[in-house]
Amino acid sequence: MSYLVLVQNGIAQGLIIGLAALSITLVFGIARFPNAAAGDMLTFGGYAGLFAFSATHSLLATGLAAIAATALLSLLMYYAVFRRLAGRSAVSLLVASIGVAFMIRAVLGVSFGHGQLVYEIELTRPYIVGGVRVSPLDLKLALIAFVTLAAAFGVLYMTSIGRQMRAVADNSDLARVSGIRPQRVMASLWLLAGALTAIAGVMLGMKTIVAPEIGWEILLPAFAAAIFGGIGSPIGAVAAGLILGVAQELSTPLVGFTYKIAVSFAVMCAVLVFRPRGLFGKAEAVR
Amino acid sequence: MSILSIDDVRGGYTEVDILNGVSFNMEPGEIFTIAGTNGAGKSTLAKAIVGLLPRVSGRIAFEGEDLVPLAAEDRVQRGIGYVPQVANVFPSLSIKENLQVVAGVAKQKARIEELFATFPTLGQRAQTRAGSLSGGERQQLAFARALMPRPRLLILDEPTAALSPAKVADAFALIASLATLGVSLLMVEQRARQALAISHRGCILDGGQVALLGRAGDLLADERAAELYLGQASPNERFGQESAVL
């Protein structure tokens, strides 16, 4: 029975990892670099949500406020930094994103301190499902995550701008000679990436604590999930996030809470060695 | 007025010029072939016209308007279509999505139906991912995608390069039929003899410059062109079997 509890916790953790991984894989697929600022964008979302929750005690308002604030930050990052570096190597952009990450963390640390803040959530009686305690908050958070994922996939696969994003991810030059404006696509991409990390940040904040380092700690599992799922594959990122989340939790009795993150390291290394294109990735010709 | 005027165009991907002062005009309704040896600058010129070459100088005028200051996406809106040599479809998108994604198309649904009528195979497999198509089907989709915004000038970069020999004649037949739709065609092609056979005029590039320019028939008959650039005619070409393409 205790394993069912671990699986339940793993799904919650996996949704957080999956949302962050989806943001990373979208940016990698379209803007062509690994965005190391994704973790700190997530932290920013956690803080934005915390203040909204303190003011409203509404999950919906919290989610929307976090999305608005983090998407705006994400867009600002694009216009202030990444747009100016367009055309540079992926390594240059990666290093720039690390700089942006440190800047966000520093601003959060200076503004709100390095102490741990918590969402003041009222305790509620858990449901008992098949002998397993299920927290109503967990269910609500899972629902929010699924709605966010459904909305993100809806944007990607059912709207004109989503098709344009996927077209740019496939072939940016062909997209341009198809009349697609890259800057419009990029702006939409960064808004979407910000929204996804915002919800991940709110979920992580509600499940644990809010502190300037929480996003940095989730960054590695998120990168591992993006690679495991097949870099550039949105569905792969979410599926791999869930698998990693559950695997991490199930490993806790064996390796302890502190070292469960090592599972992500191990999975990332194994995938890179044995299946570099991941679960859903495409084989790419190299010449 | 010429539909396309190329005047002293120079440029390349880095500091080194690949195009060294290319000049020619193209008239409305023409099929115009650019031939030449490997490395002559044919595909580079095509990229310069559509706006994908990083560094270009000189004047490239479309219906009198200088294109050089315009971004690639703006050139599409002006009426220029482009079919690249490789990677000419979006592989993760379905056939229908490859057409829907083209920006700035008035009455998009009706236009897609028109193109599905022109290319029935595409219409029958509208939901199929483009990455799973055969070479010939992929070529049809590449043409359809480029035709979506109703271009007045279509630039084809090596349209037969990725096709099996059996499909080459079909591709040239398709290209010849496109001209009847009122589209001017600028074609970069290694199979120069077959391309010139369906063209009105053409030029031969050598070292990033126009070495020969003239009517297609004159170029095919030119001994120097035949010896240096076009190679020997195949038996099929000598006996005019490619005329069936027309």
In this prediction, residue B183 carries a pLDDT of 93
pTM recorded for the entire structure: 0.87
Q: How many residues does chain A have?
A: 287
- Tokens 């404006």 locate to A181
**For residue B243, what pLDDT band results from cuts at 50, 70 and 90?**
very low
CB proximity A148 to B under 8 Å: no
The pLDDT assigned to A1 comes to 52
Whether the pLDDT of residue B216 is over 70: the answer is yes
Task: Confirm whether A283 is domain-assigned.
Answer: no
* β-pair partners for B177: none
Cβ-based neighbours of A114, under 8 Å, separated by 6 or more:
A211, A212
pLDDT of B244 > 60? The answer is: no
Determine, for residues B51 and A176 on separate chains, whether the beta-carbon distance falls below 8 Å. Answer: yes
Q: Is residue A95 part of a domain?
A: yes
Which chain A residue's Cα is nearest to B79?
A179
Determine, yes or no, domain membership for A88.
yes
Rounded-to-integer distance, Cα B138 and Cα B91, Å: 9
**Residue B12: both structure tokens together:** 């390349």
Given a contact cutoff of 8 angstroms between Cβ atoms, the answer to whether B85 and B161 are in contact is: yes
Residue A212 included in any domain = yes
For chains A and B, CB pairs below 8 A equal: 71
Residue A251 belongs to a domain: yes
Q: Which of A84, A215, A181 is nearest to B70 (CA)?
A: A181
**Pick from B172, B154, B165, B134: nearest CA to B75:** B154
Number of domains in chain A: 1
Residue A162: its pLDDT value, please?
96
Q: Does A279 fall in a domain?
A: no
Amino acid at A52: A
In a domain, A116, yes or no: yes
According to the model, what pLDDT value does residue B240 have?
37
Across B28-49, average pLDDT = 94
Contact between A48 and A198 under an 8 Å Cβ cutoff? The reply is: yes
Q: What CATH number does residue A74 fall under?
A: 1.10.3470
pLDDT band at B170 (very low <50, low <70, confident <90, very high): confident
| C-alpha separations of A180 from A67, B20, B53, B72, B74 in Å | 26, 30, 17, 9, 9
Residue A74 covered by a domain? yes
Number of neighbouring beta carbons within 10 Å of residue A75: 18
- At B39 the three-state DSSP class reads coil
With contacts defined as CB-CB under 8 Å, which chain A residues touch B77? 179
pLDDT of B73 above 80 = yes
Task: Per residue of chain A (287 residues), give pLDDT as tens.
Answer: 578 888 888 999 999 999 999 999 999 999 999 999 999 999 999 999 999 999 999 999 999 999 999 999 999 999 999 999 988 999 999 999 999 999 999 999 999 999 999 999 888 888 888 778 888 888 999 999 999 999 999 999 999 999 999 999 999 999 999 999 999 999 999 999 999 999 999 999 999 999 999 999 899 999 999 998 988 889 999 999 999 999 888 888 888 877 888 887 788 788 888 888 888 776 554 43
**Between chains, do A164 and B91 touch, taking CB under 8 Å as contact?**
no
Structural domain of A111: 3-120+130-274
Mean pLDDT to the nearest integer, B134-159: 94
Average pLDDT over residues B208-218: 93
- In sign, the C-alpha dihedral spanning B109, B113, B114, B119 is positive
What's residue B233's pLDDT?
A: 56
